[in-house]
Amino acid sequence: MNQAPRILSIAGSDSSGGAGIQADIKTVTLLGGYAMTAITAITAQNTKGVTAVETLSAAMVAAQIDACISDIGVDAIKIGMLGSAEIAHMVADRLAGVGVPVIFDPVMVSTAGAVLADADTVAAFERLMAIACLTTPNVDELAALGGDEALMAKGIGYIAKGGDAPGETVIDRLVLPGHEPQIWTAPRIETRHTHGTGCTLSSAIATFLGQGAPLAEAIEDARDFVRAALLAAPGFGEGHGPMGHHAVR
């Protein structure tokens, strides 16, 4: 039997379907994985922004994680929006020693500019970065986490995403303790339809790792998937529109 890798996304729900667990489910499924979710928060949002957020209790998030792992099992885990410091600490408790690759996307601000993590939650990210095999900050998130020097000093493995940086070329840097940085470059795709790029990249990396790929290969393939989805964006919405996951084959 050809078993699909079991990927658990611990993240928030995006009512418009472009980011969050909705983007994760699409990504995992299209890449041949079996998607499971532990929803941390419910958001009312669209391409123009987030209009309401309700965070679930840490106990409910824990119950979802336990239900999935205890029965179906898990081959890789992606962590996205957490919603509260209490949830962040609970997730760190639950995943300590889990024994599978963990990808941590330190979601702090949505594509449309809504703040999705307060200072206490960001402080709790330290534990999750220590557990994860890879943290995936964008330009602003990397700065909020203390920058390259802080993460390297703590022995954190991370990919510094360059999609938010200016310039015609996107530069992504993989930094792993004890290794020379690995750099990927690509021409920038000029589009406003970038909603969910970070969610998609992190869940794609998790899926490829769950299939047994080495980390650098998983990142490279995930970047290719994100670029293909950007090029296939359906053009929905008036703001930062969703990507075209459905069209990538």
Catalytic residue check, 37: no
In this structure, are residues 190 and 200 in contact, taking their beta carbons and an 8 Å threshold? no
- Among residues 163, 199, 200, 210, the one annotated as catalytic is 199
- How far CA 132 is from CA of 1, 81, 135, 228, 239, in Å, comes to 30, 15, 7, 26, 32
Catalytic residue check, 197: yes
- Among residues 163, 198, 210, 244, the one annotated as catalytic is 198
How many CA atoms lie within 13 Å of 141's alpha carbon, on the beta-carbon side?
A: 31
- Among residues 17, 121, 157, 161, the one annotated as catalytic is 161
3-state helix, strand, coil in the chain (%, to 5): 40, 25, 40
Catalytic residue check, 199: yes
- Among residues 135, 136, 197, 207, the one annotated as catalytic is 197
The pair phi, psi for residue 203, each rounded to 5°, is -75, -30
Pairing status of strand 34-46 against strand 76-79: unpaired
Catalytic residue check, 68: no
Catalytic residue check, 198: yes
Maximum Cα–Cα distance across the chain:
47
**Residues taking part in catalysis:** 161, 194, 196-199
